[in-house]
Amino acid sequence: MYIVFEGIDGAGKSTQIRMLKEWLEANGFRVETLVEPTDSEVGKLIRKILQRPDAQSDNVQRTLGLLFAADRMLIMDKLDDESKIIISDRSFISSMAYQEPAEWIEVLNRYAKKPDLLILLDLDVKKSVSRTSGKDTFENEQFLTGVKENYLKIVKNYEHQIIDANNGVNKVSSDIKKAVAPYLGICPDCIM
């Protein structure tokens, strides 16, 4: 099973993936986690380019769109391992939510694997800004508002669960477990 976590910056993806992995392993499942961008050659290049002062310019953004698509193409084979639950921190759906133009991003990611379950951690933009220090500009808030709206539209095309990420860590975690359990045949009463 391929489970993808999505959500704006600071939504709690890394925190919640860690907690879900632990819980699934305690329930006897084998779990592998992935993060995009990956640590491949292309992923390293992406991180480097993200540091450029002109990273937000149109042409660098387009370059990043190409590289993100290439980076995820390099890990495609891993995603078909049926002996494990694969949990990914971001996916092509991040490209669709963050980058433009939509038609082009869609073409670049035509062969990207679709999630069996997409978990959207839906967080208020103001909370995102306060959880990720140092980026609290008006432009950033406006940008993230757009990304959040994009996410809410895009998820409708996939098997998905929207989780309210504004709650405390443990409440979010138990909401995620409840959402995932039916897909894995875990009894709902066993969830704490």
Does the protein bind Mg ion through residue 14 (CB under 5 A)? yes
Check residue 169 for interaction with Mg ion (CB under 5 A).
Answer: no
What is the H or E stretch that residue 174 is in? helix 169-184
Query: Please, which of residues 126-145 interact with ligand ATP by CB under 6 A?
Result: 131-132
Task: With both helix axes pointing from N to C terminus, report the angle between 13-26 and 169-184 in degrees, rounded to the nearest 10.
Answer: 50
Residue 102: CB partners within 8 Å, gap ≥ 6? 96
Which residue, 12 or 65, has its beta carbon nearer to ligand ATP?
12
Eight-state DSSP code of residue 124: -
How many positions of this chain bind Mg ion (CB under 5 A)? 2
Tell me the closest approach of the beta carbon of residue 14 to Mg ion, in angstroms.
3
Q: Contact between 47 and Mg ion (CB under 5 A)? A: no
Q: Which partner in Mg ion, ligand ATP, none is near 11 (CB below 5 to 8 A by kind)?
A: ligand ATP
Residue 115 binds ligand ATP, judged by CB under 6 A: no
DSSP 8-class letter at 155? G
Contact of 1 with 85, CB cutoff 8 Å: yes
Contacting residue, 2, 4, 6, 10, with ligand ATP by CB under 6 A: 10
Q: How many residues does the chain have?
A: 192
Q: Is 102 helix (H, G, I), strand (E, B) or coil?
A: helix
Interacting residue ranges for ligand ATP, rule: CB under 6 A: 7, 9-15, 131-132, 168-169, 172
